[in-house]
Chain A
Amino acid sequence: MIIRHRPTHPIASSEITPKSVFDNRRTILKAMGFGGLALTLPPALTMGMSGAAQASWRPAEGKALAGIPHAKYNAKVLGEDPTAFDLVSKYNNFYEFGTGKSDPAENAGDFKTTPWTVKVEGAVEKPGTYDINDLIKADDIEDRVYRFRCVEAWSMVVPWLGVPLAKVIKRLNPTSKAKYVYFETLFDPDQMPGQRRPVLEWPYKEGLRMDEAMNPLSLLAVGVHGQVLPNQNGAPLRLIVPWKYGFKSIKSIVLMRFTDKQPPTSWSEANGREYGFYSNVNPTVSHPRWSQEAEKKIGQNNVFGLPIKQPTLMFNGYEEEVADLYAGMDLRKFY
């Protein structure tokens, strides 16, 4: 049985900015002479909304979601074409919806992502339960094309839409005690059939060291390929840490906790010998069951129709951006 809840804060249709106006808001503001100002104004103002009624930047699944084009992380800079949407949205590891690669796309269709709140707690000055629209501001959403490397030795190139995690964290004012940030996925076996099996200890847990979280690469993604995240990709809100194996990029986040101790993470709990807390992409440190030296490029096939294999890069090619975080650390020990 599917139980449908009405949003707790319905928005009158009269309050909704017409799509044409919303899509062109920057052009309109520019025409009004507010070009530079628009970016500095709180989104609630630029969108003509009162603080009480939350504007959703979220169109229905499959509809366009616009972001600020971000030249620093585009496909051109990466030198690789993005993996087709059809592959990004149909070849997934999201064990909450089943362990097969096509299970998430098949089982996540009815997953309810509205309304969605994220609880913020721990060593932070502004704890609370935030509506996703308050946590993620429309005008902060950027286009980011990142390499995505799964621990299973396959990879994709994914054009995400999201907000730098650092921006969100800064607004929450973590205290000096905050050394780590811990995330949890929704636990709802009614909606997530995979959670009825003891594959992992649910809910899914992940975490980052504070400096990792504040790195400009770390992203809270809300969209992919110019549209809202499909449910099977971790809707409505997921982490993307492109220099780490994919399982660090926790999906469907409902909790952020700032702590002074290294938090537990699901995969290292399940098998600490195979999955460490850091799990940085590292071709020189093998997974106990397979080599991490090379990866299969999903969607880039050779003449036999098989994915081409290419050498895996240190930190997934983001060495320049993140190597400093691990200076002096033995990455064989802290895998």
Chain B
Amino acid sequence: MNKETRLTWVIKPLVHAAALGPLAWLIWLGVSGQFGPNPAEFINRYTGDWAIRFLLIALAVTPVRGVTGLAVILRFRRMLGLYAFFYALLHVTNYVALDQYFAWGAIWQDIVKRTYITVGMLALVILTALAVTSPKAMVKKMGGRNWRRLHKLVYIAAIAAPIHFFMMRKGFQIEPLIYGGIAGLLLAYRAVQWARTRTKGRASAKAQTA
């Protein structure tokens, strides 16, 4: 089996299976009646947790490649990002259907009035835009430059999601701060890289003019 076949037929399916694991577990919990007396609350927390986790995993791909030099993992970045969107979509669907019972008026009031929901919705809108433009054909259609520019919005989603989580919790709780900290590290890595290439670019430009 050559490298490419192994990637397509072994590793990719394994990553898919792992990414669908949380959903499978959720379904099992539901089928075996373990959601507790407030299913919407349970599913809401569960899917929200996994949406943030996949968002952070997808954002970790580039820094991990940078540190380890493992270029092959870049092949999974889009897929992981789409799973973040998938769990975020489940999260919001649960809110609309099981929590609000499709009371659109109340939902709209929530989005407009409740800051933590506004912030969460912002992250969802961004993830939706990125998911829609994720196929390779879209990259071609938009042009690489525009596409990359649009997909930089994921950084805003990475900040918005932990803030949404932190605001939703009552009292001072550590879990959202951990996610926020990880998001901060992943973004800081990029900031450092960006600053480095900039100074490098300037230095080389200077060298050329000299």
Please indicate the chain B residues that have their CB under 8 angstroms from the CB of A309 in the complex: 101
Judged by a CB distance under 8 angstroms, whether A197 is at the interface is: yes
Number of residues on chain B facing chain A (CB within 8 A)? 24
**Residues A291 and B106 in contact in the complex (CB < 8 Å), given A199-B171, A286-B113:** yes
CA distance A200 to B170 in the complex (A): 9
9 tightest A-B contacts by CB?
A199-B171, A298-B37, A200-B171, A91-B37, A87-B37, A289-B114, A198-B172, A270-B171, A199-B172
B167 touches A197 (CB 8 A): no
A95 touches B171 (CB 8 A): yes
Q: Which residue of A lies closest to B173 (CB)?
A: A199
Judged by a CB distance under 8 angstroms, whether B5 is at the interface is: no
Question: How many interface contacts (CB-CB < 8 Å) are there between A and B?
Answer: 55
- B38-46, B62-70, B127-135, B191-199 - interface stretch: B38-46
Contact-residue size bin, chain A (C-beta under 8 Å from the other chain)? 20 to 34
Binary contact track B95-132/A, C-beta < 8 Å → 1, others 0: 00010010000100110011111000000000000000
CA distance A173 to B174 in the complex (A): 43
Chain B residues at the A interface, C-beta cutoff of 8 Å: 36-41, 98, 101, 106, 109-110, 113-117, 167-174
- Please tell me which one of the listed residues A101, A197, A288, A306 contacts residue B114 in the complex, with CB atoms under 8 A apart: A288
Judged by a CB distance under 8 angstroms, whether A307 is at the interface is: yes
B113 touches A197 (CB 8 A): no
CA distance A290 to B170 in the complex (A): 13
- Please tell me which one of the listed residues A91, A200, A290, A296 contacts residue B36 in the complex, with CB atoms under 8 A apart: A91
CA distance A321 to B109 in the complex (A): 32
Main SS class of interface, A: loop
CA distance A101 to B46 in the complex (A): 13
- Please tell me which one of the listed residues A91, A289, A306 contacts residue B168 in the complex, with CB atoms under 8 A apart: A289
B39 touches A305 (CB 8 A): yes
A298 touches B174 (CB 8 A): no
Please indicate the chain B residues that have their CB under 8 angstroms from the CB of A95 in the complex: 171
CA distance A197 to B171 in the complex (A): 11
A-B contact pairs, 23 of them (CB 8 A): A87-B37, A90-B37, A95-B171, A99-B171, A101-B41, A154-B38, A197-B173, A197-B174, A199-B171, A199-B172, A270-B171, A271-B171, A286-B113, A288-B114, A288-B115, A289-B115, A289-B116, A290-B110, A290-B114, A296-B40, A305-B39, A306-B39, A307-B37
CA distance A291 to B114 in the complex (A): 9
Judged by a CB distance under 8 angstroms, whether A299 is at the interface is: yes
